[in-house]
Structure 1
Amino acid sequence: MPNENKYMTYEHLLELRQNHAAWRLLRADYCPMVAAFFFQAFIGPKRRGIEAQELLENLDTFLYDCSGQNGEFARSPKDYLEMWADSSYGWLRKYEYRGDWYYDLTAPAQKAVEWLLSLHKQDFIGTESRLRTVFNLLHEIAQETDTDAEHRLAYLTSQQEKIAAEIKVIEETGEVRPRLDDIQIKERFLQAESTATAILADFREVEENFRELTRKVQADIVKWTKGKGELLEKIFSESDIIRKSEQGRSFMAFWRFLMLSQQQDDLRETLQQVESREAIRPMVQEHSLADINREWVQAAAAVQKTLGQLSAQLRRYVDEDYLREERNIYRLIQNIESKAVDRKGQGLSGMIMTMNTLPKVHMPMERRLFAPPKRIRLESPELTAGDGGTGSLAAIFDQVVVDKEKLKAHVADLLQERNEVTLAEVLAVYPLELGLAELLGYLVLASRDAAEFTEERLEKIVFERDGRKLQAVCQQVIFRKGAGHS
């Protein structure tokens, strides 16, 4: 509590009231409109970056609906978006991505909206599950940090006795007694849903913290006046500081844990098992966590993108002539400003410039259409040496193996009756059984056998996994007889 006292002084709260974006939103006269729209557009559907035109149309519709109830609003939808994205407000972040402009909610704006959301009266508040969570966390800290051998043996022995007693009861009776009643199940499910949603909210603040560190590094680089060697050393040290900070290490640990296929499969299977329980089945539609893993990945990927901006700065500033060109630019700007001050009040005499050549005009339709670059992502997880004394070898035998000879036989079978066949036609006869791994096997087979990849035409490949229909979009692939399949 002493550490929190400095945040609850009159001076600090007065500064927050004047400068903090969240408090500024709560003070705004049209706060109900802003908070309702932010929840409807971003927080409710759990969306992040929204294209500017789409958000503008959503706001236009939202303001029209609100105007019918409370009168006209003073500004247009476009003016509102530009105003909210201004640094003096700080409620939206406007950024460019692949030639288009996007808006995303800032961390302070999300805090303000979620605080308003927390004011509604809750029909059910679980306290027993949260109390157990506190006890379990404290016990985990105490047990996992205790290096006393006697204490550890005593704990493991007590756990062994409990497990042995439960096994004995099951063997004697053949029944498994539920350890949670309906109320406890409901409590724990709501707490899990609240924590999972809170993780999404935390990502915006984590991303904002990383972005602030990135801006600091960029500002230091722009003002750099020493040699390039010292500049590179500073960039690398700042990058290490961000990634090795407590927040950086916590985020990277979360990312590594989330991206493990075993963890994703375990989460998906556990959610299916939990949501089938009779006690919480009526709550699943309103509090479903079926898509939480995908939402976590999207939010964490946005943070990873922010971290990647430091690497982009490396490529930009490593140029040999960067420092010299930067100083020349500032010198030119200073000369222009100086001449502008000298000419103040002298009118436009002597400032007319003639051009000896005609300007080149490029019509909009003459430009080439944008083609997204092909990116290759390589992941190199850290490997740790083991002694082989612990763990299970079952995971080694549970790997997905694609039989390439079987795929080749499928293609060859269809090519016996025709001269060419597309990948979609092959999959119509032999549907995917192993998902994306099997589809990737077909693509590798096509590249090795000189099959034709048609970039102008795309094919939609539909397959099932865990009872859900999924769709993959890829270039049209055409296998021909005589290209390794005859």
Structure 2
Amino acid sequence: MALNDSILSEIISTSPSVELLRLRNRELVLLFLYRTFYHKPDPVAYEHLCVQLSDYLCAEHLDQDEESGISVFDTYDEKARKYIMRWTDKGFLRNYQEETGEVFYELSSYASKTLDWLLSLKKEDFVGTESKFMNLFSQMKELVEFTNEDKDERIRILEARKQEIEHEIQTIRAGGDARVFEEYQIRPRFRQITQSAKDLLSDFKEVEENFKNITKSIYQKHAEGGYTKGDILGFTFDALEDLQNSPQGRSFYAFWDFLLSPSLQEEWDELVSGLFETLDHKSIQERDQFLRNMKQYLYAAGKKVYQANDKMAEKLSKIICEQEAPKQVAARKLIQDIQATLLELAQKNCKPEVSLSVEMFPEIRMPAERKLTLERNTEVVYRQVLEVAASDITQADYADALFATHTVDRGILKQRVLTALKRKKQVSLAEVIERNGGLEKGLAELFGYIGLLSEFRYHVHTEKTVDVPFNTAENKMIRVPEIIIVR
């Protein structure tokens, strides 16, 4: 019991969900988060979010909020930007940067679950006791059936189920009525399915957060400077393996495979379409249409999980590939010391007063600045006529180098691994690379393979290493732990 008390105490003290409910202006914050983000598939760009929040604060006539450091003298745009920064720091929102450099925001898993819980407090028109009990009874039977290893007992259960089905078929053929749910049975079941789908979306966000936490740990270990590249690589593989073998990780990867199955997707679409047609036919009005777009929501959330995994692999590849001169090493060490200090302060929720001071006024030189003068510009006259270039750009010198691309197709790499696993139950990563002619695109291709490991079962033997050539012309190779991929 003491352990449970300590866990509950820790949740109350540290959970962003609890902190969100503790805010003085919680109603204002929760309403804005609900209207802007709740169960909407697309994230919101930073500038657009600032405009929306600024208009909302103006409509609510918010003057100041001492708890969030907002004063009456701030403009509504400044208030909006301060709120967004604070909500992100507190864990109510999360942000990420696209390749274009634009920053997008969406609800964190904590804020999403808080809104789910608040909405669940709404008193329903009626309580679906029958549907909840039948669901509980069905799950209990399923749990007992599939945890019993006695084959004779399993056959007895299947035979009993077979007799029930045959009896129902005979009754219907004899002119009897088929069992059909009444409205009081349909409504609670529909709402239970919808709520389970929303909970599943929150689970996806938690898996994404786990990948991001691994990435943060890689940043932190690299900033501390006391770890070798092999140590960081080993830590990453161990963390990935723990995540993949955890109940949450197994559940996510199994569901992701289901989500990518064309036949199951088609079956899901037919079920959803049939369900809503039945509701319309029976004139049962349900405002929550989440199930109609559930597949798109889950696909978008699952895609973000894999993007977080790719970002982690990209950071890892940068750490392993970096090669620096002595001066750069010294500068890097200084930067790492600063990063380590800032990380330590961040863990203590301290905001340092960092500033620079100079002993004299800086001398500003802007050679390209247009000077103020009354002198007239000298007119430049070009006497040489430029030749017209050939119309066929393919004949231009170095055109191949200009348009050369060295992107790695993850689909091709995944297919190579699947092909190798068809022949053998387990295969090493080095063997897959060797069978396909080595690394054609250098280290980028190797890290492409490493990024795919989260989609397979694999083992890392840190005590055994292999040399993987990545530049045969210059006889360059990289030493990595042996990685065994299992079917």
- The TM-score normalised by the length of structure 1 is 0.64
Which aligned pairs between 1:126-205 and structure 2 lie closer than 5 A? 126-173=128-175, 177-205=178-206
Q: Which amino acid aligns with 2:210?
A: N
Query: Residue 80 in 1 paired to residue 80 in 2?
Result: yes
Shift of 1:285: 4.3
CA distance in 2: counterparts of 1:65 and 1:151, whole angstroms: 66
Gaps of 5+ in 1: 338-343, 362-372, 386-486
CA distance in 2: counterparts of 1:62 and 1:336, whole angstroms: 39
2:308 corresponds, among 303, 306, 309, to 306
Partner of 1:101: 103
CA distance in 2: counterparts of 1:220 and 1:79, whole angstroms: 35
SS of equivalent residue, structure 2 residue 91 = coil
Q: Which amino acid aligns with 2:53?
A: L
Partner of 2:29: 34
Shift of 1:269: 0.5
2:292 corresponds, among 286, 290, 293, to 290
CA distance in 1: counterparts of 2:181 and 2:337, whole angstroms: 77
Shift of 1:295: 0.9
Q: Is the 8 A contact 1:93 1:103 kept in 2?
A: yes
SS of equivalent residue, structure 1 residue 321 = coil
Query: Residue 20 in 1 paired to residue 8 in 2?
Result: no
Q: Is the 8 A contact 2:93 2:108 kept in 1?
A: yes
Q: Which amino acid aligns with 2:187?
A: K
Q: Is the 8 A contact 1:275 1:281 kept in 2?
A: no
Shift of 1:92: 1.7
The size of the alignment, in residue pairs, is 358
Partner of 1:348: 359
Which aligned pairs between 1:58-457 and structure 2 lie closer than 5 A? 58-67=52-61, 74=72, 76-86=76-86, 88-97=89-98, 98-173=100-175, 177-278=178-279, 281-287=283-289, 289-321=291-323, 327-332=329-334, 348=359, 358=367, 376=409, 378=411, 380=415
Shift of 1:353: 7.2
Shift of the 222–293 alpha-carbon distance from structure 1 to 2, 3 Å rule, reads same
CA distance in 2: counterparts of 1:154 and 1:325, whole angstroms: 76
Q: Which amino acid aligns with 1:140?
A: E
What percent of counterpart residues are identical?
A: 24
Q: Is the 8 A contact 2:214 2:236 kept in 1?
A: no
Q: Which amino acid aligns with 1:83?
A: Y
CA distance in 1: counterparts of 2:319 and 2:204, whole angstroms: 29
CA distance in 1: counterparts of 2:181 and 2:2, whole angstroms: 39
CA distance in 1: counterparts of 2:275 and 2:108, whole angstroms: 33
CA distance in 1: counterparts of 2:325 and 2:12, whole angstroms: 41
Cα offsets for 1:190-248 (capped at 9, x unmatched)? 11111112222333233223322321233123334354444433333333333333322
Shift of 1:283: 2.3
CA distance in 2: counterparts of 1:345 and 1:273, whole angstroms: 66
Shift of the 324–168 alpha-carbon distance from structure 1 to 2, 3 Å rule, reads farther
Partner of 1:436: none
Which aligned pairs between 1:45-56 and structure 2 lie closer than 5 A? 45-56=39-50
Shift of the 334–151 alpha-carbon distance from structure 1 to 2, 3 Å rule, reads closer
Q: Which amino acid aligns with 1:109?
A: A
Q: Which amino acid aligns with 1:26?
A: L
Shift of 1:303: 1.7
Partner of 1:393: none
Which is worse superposed, 269-278 or 286-295? 286-295
Q: Which amino acid aligns with 1:39?
A: Y
Gaps of 5+ in 2: 66-71, 340-354, 371-405, 423-487
CA distance in 1: counterparts of 2:325 and 2:244, whole angstroms: 27
Q: Which has the higher contact order (CA 8 A, sep 6+)?
A: 2
CA distance in 2: counterparts of 1:231 and 1:52, whole angstroms: 33
Shift of 1:266: 0.7
Q: Is the 8 A contact 2:92 2:111 kept in 1?
A: yes
CA distance in 1: counterparts of 2:136 and 2:2, whole angstroms: 21
Shift of the 302–176 alpha-carbon distance from structure 1 to 2, 3 Å rule, reads farther
CA distance in 1: counterparts of 2:238 and 2:298, whole angstroms: 29
CA distance in 2: counterparts of 1:26 and 1:182, whole angstroms: 36
